[in-house]
Amino acid sequence: MPIDFANELNPSQLEAVMHQGSPALVIAGAGSGKTRTIVYRLARLVQDGVPPENILLLTFTRKAAQEMLLRAGSILGRNLSGTSGGTFHSFAYGVLRRNGRTLGFETGFTLMDRADSENVVKEVKDNLKLGKGDRSYPKKNTLLDMITKSRNKERSIDAIVESEAYHLSAYAEDFQSIAGEYTRFKQSHALMDYDDLLFRFEELLRSDPSLLEELRARYQHIMVDEYQDTNKVQARLVRLLSGESGDVVAVGDDAQSIYAFRGADVANILDFPKIFKDAKLIRLERNYRSTQAILNLTNHILAGAHTKFDKTLVSDRDTGRLPRIVHPLSDQTQAKQVVEEVIKLAKKYPLHDIAVLFRAGYQSYPLEVALSRVGIRYQKYGGLRFHEAAHIKDVLAYLRLTHNPADMVAWRRVFAPIKGIGPKTADRIAKARLTADGKYIAKAMKRFPALRELFDHLDGLRNCSRPGQALERINMFYQPILAELYPDDYPKRQTGLDQLSQIATNYTSIDDFLADLTLDGDQEEEKRKEHALVLSTVHSSKGLEWSAVLIIDLVEDRFPSKRALARPEDMDEERRLLYVACTRAKDSLTMFVPATIFNRFNAVSEPATPSPFIAELPGDCAEMWRETYASGLRQETQHAGTHASGVNGNALPAEPSDTLSPGPATGTPKLGICRHKIFGQGKIIAQIPPNKYRVNFPGFGLKVIVADYLELL
């Protein structure tokens, strides 16, 4: 019996499913039934007589392709065997295996996995005699990361190092040498890595016109899922395979393009109508996940983007309760407020149906401690759990020895950075220290001179009664060790240590501090998944949903990240990240904007600027709550947004001169780049009427400048 598509789909989905005769771009808003649309289009093509072998379905995971083909087959009541469905890489691999001779692979080639590639990079580095004797030399996985990022983003390695790994700039020339030799090694040994599959496939298609025509003749109907996540070469492959006017349907959402760090290029989806002539643009705007109140807020967030496809998500559900924007007094009290909110929500939803989202993995550390203290189980996606991170374990080992000098595990950890001391030697030295074996200790210090400094440091720690005081001394001692042990990413790890110091300021007892950090225990992973709160970075949350979502640290330098403040395109991606975070919520959305952020370097809390994405929200899309000095929450009479949120998260006086104006979407002068005589070029973040701007100057940070002293570029 033929499928009644009109009865199964909403009008926009039906338009996408039935479209034919020209390329089409389906902009599928969050929760709008993207997968359902692709599945029914597959079914419609086959029902209309298209042989399955003439269909090519490209996705980003093999599992996604298999599920779509199975669902389409179930709808049709027949198997879709013969359909080519899978990832870009798997499709490229199949074609390259059959046609490798064209590229000089006379007897075929071997595909390397990640571990193989890392080992080859190490061999190449060793053959070039680079990094010999340098303990801080980047590890093989970092070397491969630099090469892979350079290829996928199609930027020079110098540019990648400058923008993403400046602390490794001393090795930039080495990276280039290794990359060149790595390429030669692969070619001479008939090897390919995953990146090669795409670039060599493109090379094959361009060098063999007859093969290209053969593929175009076979795959007359092409569908691409998650088009916003394609990189430059993947977009070129789609164009090559389909031609400029072929039957290609790309499905995705520019507002969910959040993987630029992997090489994804949002321009691919934004420029689709320019690249494919006469392309039909279809918008899926009916959302089946969230309440309308949540969508009203996300629509406002998207409105401020500089480059986007206009769309307005409309819910298929009731309006629901307004989202809440909570202003804790500080990032230190934020964890307490989140825990209290989770406890309330847990009366209505199971724990695994509640999620706390954050921009970076380290931001959940204070919350992890607070959750452990009250016995709430959690599972974390994106970034290591706090107590599992190696550098956190390193620092805590020093602290543990002030509490328990017989802690052999801690002794091994603090001895490990000293060259020549392995576990057995570490045990002997520790035992000699505990048994007052001065003779052995003297002998060991002569053999390992660094021991004296370590012992002096540990002795000094015994005079510290508070964990915060002890951690200050530990951080000073550990700083050069951190850079040596983890040369590839020590700036990122330092941020985690800063969070540890911040947490410690809430404790007066080292014993209590250590206990709270280790009370989590070892529950079984399966039980965690069923009965545990979800903590997740926003990137790891994409594609998931929960009844209740809480988002933390919505202040400048944290969300958006500090690095994003300088470039409009990076700010747009941060905006999309927040949109993704908010649209994970089905029923309840709570956003936390701490008024102050603790600065461990001067041991004080400093005023924080609310995220510009929060500051620009109109007053009617969310409730605003503030933490009182009595530790409770009080609802403000005005709603959250530009009319009720001050620069530091405090209630504003009536004068309009202190009100942060919204971005270009709400009618103020367009924000952009400016120049200052002293600070140089900067990015205007917000206008402060009547005549001031908040500007981010690279190297100087955020400044409020009178307009007369700025040259607008």
Reported confidence tier of residue 518, pLDDT bands at 50, 70, 90: low
Cβ-proximal residues to 654 (8 Å cutoff; 6+ apart), any chain: none
135 or 473, greater pLDDT: 473
Arithmetic mean of pLDDT, 117-133: 91
- pLDDT category, 656, cuts 50, 70, 90? very low
Specify the pLDDT at position 526. 38
The pLDDT of 531-547, averaged and rounded, is 93
The single-letter code of the amino acid at 189 is: H
Q: What is the dihedral of CA 689, 691, 696, 698, to 10 degrees?
A: 180
How much is the pLDDT for 531?
Answer: 84
Interval 700-712: pLDDT, tens:
667 778 787 788 8
Task: Name the least confident of 18-27, 98-107, 368-377.
Answer: 98-107
- The pLDDT, as a whole number, for residue 600 is 64
Window from 31-35, 575-579, 631-635, 674-678 with minimum mean pLDDT: 674-678
Measured distance CA(351)–CA(534) in Å, rounded: 8
DSSP notation for 71-97: HHHHHHTS--TT-EEEEHHHHHHHHHH
Average pLDDT over residues 16-25: 93
Mean pLDDT score of the chain: 86
- At 400, the pLDDT band (50, 70, 90 cuts) reads confident
DSSP per residue, 490-501: HHHHHHHHHHHH
Report how far residue 251's alpha carbon sits from residue 261's, in angstroms, rounded to the nearest whole number: 21
pLDDT of residue 36: 95
Residue 384 has a pLDDT of: 67
> In the prediction, which pLDDT does 109 show?
86
Instruction: Give me the percent of the chain exceeding a pLDDT of 90.
Output: 49
Strand 604-607 and strand 596-599: the pairing is antiparallel
Mean pLDDT of 561-589: 90
- Written as one string, the DSSP assignment of 500-513 is HHHHHTT-S-HHHH
User: Rounded to two decimals, what is the model's pTM?
Assistant: 0.78
Instruction: Residue 235: count other Cβ atoms within 10 Å of its Cβ.
Output: 20
What residues are designated binding site for ATP?
28-35
Q: pLDDT at residue 575 above 50?
A: yes
Assess whether pLDDT exceeds 80 at residue 601: no
pLDDT: is 508 or 292 the higher one? 292
Query: What is the mean pLDDT of the segment spanning 118-135?
Result: 90
Instruction: Determine the Cα–Cα distance for residues 601 and 502; give it in Å rounded to an integer.
Output: 10
- The confidence band for 603, taking pLDDT boundaries of 50, 70 and 90, is low
Tokens 């007052």, residue located: 436
For residues 26-51, average pLDDT? 94
Tens of pLDDT, residues 237-252? 999 999 877 789 999 9
Q: Place 466 in a pLDDT band, splitting at 50, 70 and 90.
A: confident
Q: How confident is the model at residue 638 (pLDDT cuts 50, 70, 90)?
A: low
Q: What is the pLDDT of residue 700?
A: 62
- Distance (Å, rounded) from C-alpha 304 to C-alpha 230? 24
Q: Is the pLDDT of residue 438 over 90?
A: no
User: Known binding site: residues?
Assistant: 28-35
pLDDT (0 to 100) of residue 358: 96
Q: What is the mean pLDDT of residues 317-337?
A: 91
| CA–CA dist 646, 57 (Å, integer) | 49
pLDDT computed for residue 670 by the predictor: 54
Report the pLDDT value the prediction gives residue 513, as an integer from 0 to 100. Answer: 83
Highest mean pLDDT among 344-353, 416-425, 591-600, 701-710: 344-353
* Count of residues making up the chain: 713
**Bridge partners (DSSP) listed for residue 368:** none
Closest CA to 553 of 326, 385, 376: 326
As given in the structure block, the two tokens for residue 519 are 């009370």
pLDDT of residue 525: 41
- pLDDT at position 666 over 70: no
What average pLDDT score do residues 654-670 get?
A: 33
Average pLDDT over residues 161-166: 86
> Residues 44, 208: contact at Cβ < 8 Å?
no
Arithmetic mean of pLDDT, 129-145: 89
pLDDT band of residue 278 (cuts 50, 70, 90) is confident
Q: Does pLDDT of 376 surpass 60?
A: yes
How confident is residue 519, by pLDDT bands cut at 50, 70 and 90?
A: low
Q: What mean pLDDT comes out for the span 170-193?
A: 92
